[in-house]
Each structure stands twice: as structure tokens, then as C-alpha cells.
A and B are shown apart, each in its own frame.
Chain A
Amino acid sequence: MRLFLDFEKPIAELESRIEDLRRLDGNKTDNGLNISEEVSRLQKKADKLLKETYKKLSPWQKVQVARHPDRPHFEDIEKYLLEDFMPLAGDRGFAEDHAIVGGLAKFRGTSVMVISHEKGRETEERLKHNFGMARPEGYRKAQRLMDMADRFKLPVLSFVDTPGAYPGVGAEQRGQAEAIARSIEKCLSIKVPFISTIVGEGGSGGAIALAASNVVLMLEHSVYSVISPEGCASILWRSSDYAKQAAEALKMTSEDLLELKVIDEIITEPVGGAHRDKAKTLQDLGNVIEKSLKSLVNYDGQQLKSHRREKFLKMGRDFN
């Protein structure tokens, strides 16, 4: 069963009519209409509508796509991009945080360190992964893994998909702010190639904590922002009803961020979004990651660190 978003309703209706007709299994209908002709006519109409809808998604619609329950998650990344993934657990201080998954893997023949948010899909899984909202332990585990990558000269690949860092009593008690700050500091200090990809939601500090990297990529319909549109609306408009306006004002789409020179490249998604063809989306992403790693091959450790610094220091200085 495919899940449709609100703005996809007309497409959903067409596709369910197609399903119904297919179930009639090639028989002629009462009025003599040829079913397979009707199916292909409707299919064309649905395809066209889907294409048109996705060609001009509004920022708020992109937020919905980025949060789609079937969006590629870490399990898909593992399936289509990695071999022999070996998860590594724990921050060595307090707990294992399932909101951030990490470990060793092969990416197209090369050993890499992988660090990724995981939101979970079914209810039970979502609770286990805390909807992708990490606690301090998650960011501390990330720091530990980045240190290990640095020590063994492994490139780091990070995948970002989080509504934000978890706002809870325990998280605050154990130093959420400090954990995020140190994670950013670690990202900026390691002397290995570091490529990050915003896969779904790039939510604020919880996202940049894993994305202060040499190359920042974004899937076409993912979003990356300092605050959720709902949060921004409730502060600046005094009502979360203005989330749509906030999504536009915040300039959180991949096109906007490329223009602002905050990200390096956009990975085009299949018509209808990454969830309609995860294999294709992630193959394309893999190609860009491979190309990005190659572009850094001649940098030594110190140069990789300087490259990262210069990249971030330049941001916002060169608009004119």
C-alpha cells in the first residue's frame, strides 16, 4: 500500500481507480470499454499529474515529502549503498542512543565510517529510535566514531534525517548543548574526508552536529533549516497555523540552499519523490558521494581540515 500525502490526493484517486480496473482482469466492461486501454489512459493521466505536481512543489509540500514515512532511511542506505555494515554502539559514558546509528562499512570497495540518523518506521521502531531525535549520548557516540575514523584514516559518510535534537529533561541534564557543540567541533577537526548528505529533514543543531563536513549534499526534496516551520511560525507569527508561510520565508529547500552556497550539490529525485524509487535515488547518491570522495583524494589530513574551515568561513561572505 502506497502512502499518499495530502497534496497528492488527486493522484491517489487516479491510482486507486487504476487498481480497481486492474482487478477486473482484462474483461470487457458493460459499456464495452476496453479495460487495458482505459488503464493506460488513466495511467498516463496519473503520471502527468504526478510529474506536474512534483515539478513545482512548494517549500511546505517539500517538508511533507521530506517527512514521508517511506522516505529512504538508514536501512535503505545500508541496503543500497553499503556492504558489510558493522554497527558500533554506545557513547562509553551513559547509553546507546538508537536515534543515531553508526559503524564500519564498505562503500564501493572502500572502508568508511558511517554515522546516520534513524527515525524508525513502525510505531515500535519509532519509539526505539526516538523518531530520530538524538540525546547527548548520540552526539557523543558520533564523536567517538569520528575519532576512530581519524585514527584509522577512514573517510566519514554521514546521513542526516532528524526533526532536531531531543528536548527532554534527561537530555538537558546530561548536557545536550555541550554534546552538540563538541560534535560540531569534532566534525571540523578530523583529518579525513567527510561527506554528509541531508536525506530527509535537516533539523537545526541536531543536523549540523553531523554535517560540518567537506562536502554537503542534499536529496532534491529534503529540507535543512535552523528551526522547523511550525516552530518558526509559532514564535514569529504567534501561531503554528502559519507553518506554510514560515517554510517559504526560511528558504529551506535544496534549491534555496544551493543558491545560498550552503550546500554543494543536489541529488535529483525520481518523479514522485525518493520513496517511489529508493534503489535509483540511492544509486545516484552513491555516484555523487564517490565523485566527492575522489575530489578530495589529493588532500592530506591538514588540508582536509583547512578545506572544511575555509568552506564554512566563506559562507555568507560572498553574496555579491
Chain B
Amino acid sequence: MNWISNYVRPKIQALVQKSDVPENLWVPCGNCGKMVFHRDLERNAQVCPHCEHHMKLDVISRLESLFDDGKYKTINMPEVEADPLKFKDKKKYPERLKDARSKTKRDDVIVAGLGKIGGRKAVVAAFDFKFMGGSMGMAVGEAIVKAAETAVVQNAAFIVVPASGGARMQEGILSLMQMSRTTIGVDMVKEAGLPYIVILTDPTTGGVSASFAMLGDIQIAEPGSLVCFAGARVIEETIREKLPEGFQRAEYLLDHGMVDMVVHRKDIPSTIGKILDHLMN
């Protein structure tokens, strides 16, 4: 293993990204509207100190926040066919990919790492929503399969943190096939007798929610996150039904029996630690 590329690089990337933010930046909270100093947000894992609204957490901070001492080894992801359909809408798909890659400095949506949580081995695969809305194409499918295989080989728990608008339309039928391919991945973990835990974050929808993201042994959701199959707009347009309050939010899912618990971001690592203590004894 190359220690420099596997371990240090993500940290450096995170530092570079953080220093891109101007010193005096204040961010308005999407929920209460109050201005929050960005350093306070960083310290608070992007949770508003006034109203506890959970803003989006970047994928590297996510991995660091989950693993003991923020330490993990990045799992290298397999390369995939870039544009299997030669897809073009208003823009060519390779151009969209190029834009997303230069914006995020990442090859695709998922970053996965191997480390310890509460002293127990775990693989975490987390989504970068900024990369084409966290959409699932070949790369996401292969990343879930690879991360799951790593968990099996390492005898580690498997934890996925989705944040995704659903399938990546530009990969057409192959994006749909990732629903079955990712399911195979998580079933390999289950068959190995290892825990599979999902941390649902805002938003988790479409083909992602309708496959591996709903198949966890334990389903945790962050407060307020939108988790659904069909989006509110689609439902309203299709059937003109009025949507209930809090519809498709984490707390609504808890009430309707779809998740085990809604957990504040700061308590998620210790919660997972406790779960693994029970399930991996």
C-alpha cells in the first residue's frame, strides 16, 4: 500500500478545499435563515448551531468524522467505461463528466475508506452529492461492489452513506443495472455474516433508495433528510395529491417504520460503535 497516496492525500485535499473558503465567510442557514460563521459550521460538522439544521457535509469530512481519530485508508476504485452510450443531450456526457471532475477533483461520486469505528474494522463508502448530484452510474455500482468485497476480505462492517438524486440518466440502462449490481454487493457482505449499515443523508432518492440504500441491517437517517422513491414534484404532477407535512423526511420515515432511528450527526459515530459492538462480538 502506498501510504502517501492512500492515507495522506485525502487529508491534504480536505485542507486545500477548506482553505478555498474566504476567511470572513458567513453562511445563511437554509432552515432558520440566520448567518453562521463558516469556522463555527466546520467545527459543528455543518450543523447549524441555532436550529440544528443538518447542512450537506463534504465527503472527506464525512469519512473523517466516522472513523476513529479521522484515520482511514482510501480504497482505490476500478476504472469504468466512461461513456458507454455515447450520450448527448444539450451537452455531451463526457463534457458533463469533465466539468464535475474539475469541480470536485474526484473521478466520480463515491469515496470509500477502510479504518476502525469504535475500535472495530469498518469500510465506509460515502457519496459526494456535488458530483452530478451523487447520481448512480457504472462508477458508483463498481465502487459499492468493490467496497463490499473489501469489507468481506477484511472481515469488516460495511457502512454506506448515500446522498443521491438517483440514477445517472446519461448511462441509460446501465445505470438501472446498478440497482441489481449494488444489491449483489451488499448481499455478499450479509452472507459473510458482517453488518451492513446505511446512514441516509439528504437527499437519498430514486434508484439509490430503491436498491442498496434501503437494504441495511440497520437503517439510520440524519434529521430532516429527504428519503424517497419518487420526488414530491413528480407525485404532485402525476396525481395532484396534496402532500402531508414533513412528507418523505427522516422523521416521517421513522413514524412509518422505514428506518430504525434518526440520529444527530454528532452522535452517529458513537451509535455505529455501539451497533458494531453488539453485532461483531
* A interface residue numbers (CB < 8 A to B): 165, 167-169, 171-178, 180-182, 184-185, 187-189, 204-205, 207-209, 212, 224-227, 232, 235-237, 245-246, 249-252, 256-257, 260, 262, 309, 312-313, 315-316, 319-320
Contact = CB atoms under 8 A, between A and B. Distances in A.
Given A168-B241, A226-B207, A204 B176 contact: yes
Q: Is the interface of A mostly helix, strand, loop or mixed?
A: helix
B258 interface: yes
Given A260-B174, A312-B181, A173 B256 contact: yes
A244 B210 CA distance: 27
Pairs A-B, 6 closest by C-beta atoms? A167-B230, A177-B209, A236-B89, A177-B229, A226-B176, A180-B210
Interface residues of B, number: 51
B229 A176 contact: yes
B230 A176 contact: yes
Given A181-B183, A184-B180, A185-B187, A250 B172 contact: yes
A313 B184 contact: yes
A224 B228 contact: no
A200 to B, nearest CB: 16
A178 B241 CA distance: 22
B239 A168 contact: yes
B183 A249 contact: no
Given A176-B230, A309-B184, A316-B177, 8 more contacts: A168-B239, A172-B248, A177-B210, A185-B183, A205-B207, A252-B172, A312-B181, A313-B181
27 contacts: A165-B210, A165-B229, A168-B230, A168-B239, A169-B247, A172-B228, A174-B256, A175-B257, A177-B210, A178-B214, A181-B179, A181-B213, A181-B215, A205-B206, A205-B211, A225-B176, A226-B169, A226-B176, A251-B172, A257-B173, A260-B174, A309-B184, A312-B177, A316-B81, A316-B138, A319-B84, A320-B81
B234 interface: yes
Contacts of A172: 228-230, 235, 247-248
Contacts of B235: 167-169, 172
Nearest to A209: B210
Given A169-B244, A208-B180, A315-B181, A181 B173 contact: no
A319 B83 CA distance: 11
A126 to B, nearest CB: 15
B243 A169 contact: yes
Interface string B183-202: 11001000000000000000
Contact of A181 (B138, B210, B243): B210
B87 to A, nearest CB: 5
Interface string B244-272: 10011000000011100000000000000
A181 B180 contact: no
B212 interface: yes
B275 interface: no
Contact of A250 (B85, B228, B239): B85
Most chain A CB within 10 A, of B84, B138, B145, B210, is at B210
B182 to A, nearest CB: 9
A312 B180 contact: yes
Most chain B CB within 10 A, of A171, A172, A224, A245, is at A172
A187 B167 CA distance: 20
Contact of B184 (A171, A237, A312): A312
B90 interface: yes
B174 A262 contact: yes
A32 B181 CA distance: 69
Interface in B205-224: 206-207, 209-215
Nearest to B184: A309
Given A181-B211, A181-B212, A319-B81, A188 B229 contact: no
A180 B145 CA distance: 19
A303 to B, nearest CB: 16
Contact of A226 (B175, B180, B184): B175
B25 to A, nearest CB: 32
B234 A167 contact: yes
Contact of B183 (A171, A175, A188): A188
Interface string B76-94: 0000110011011110000
Contacts of B244: 169
B172 to A, nearest CB: 5
Contacts of B187: 185, 188-189
A177 B216 CA distance: 13
Contact of B177 (A165, A169, A171, A315): A315
B281 interface: no
B207 A184 contact: no
A262 B177 contact: yes
B230 A237 contact: no
B230 to A, nearest CB: 3
B174 A313 contact: no
B238 interface: yes
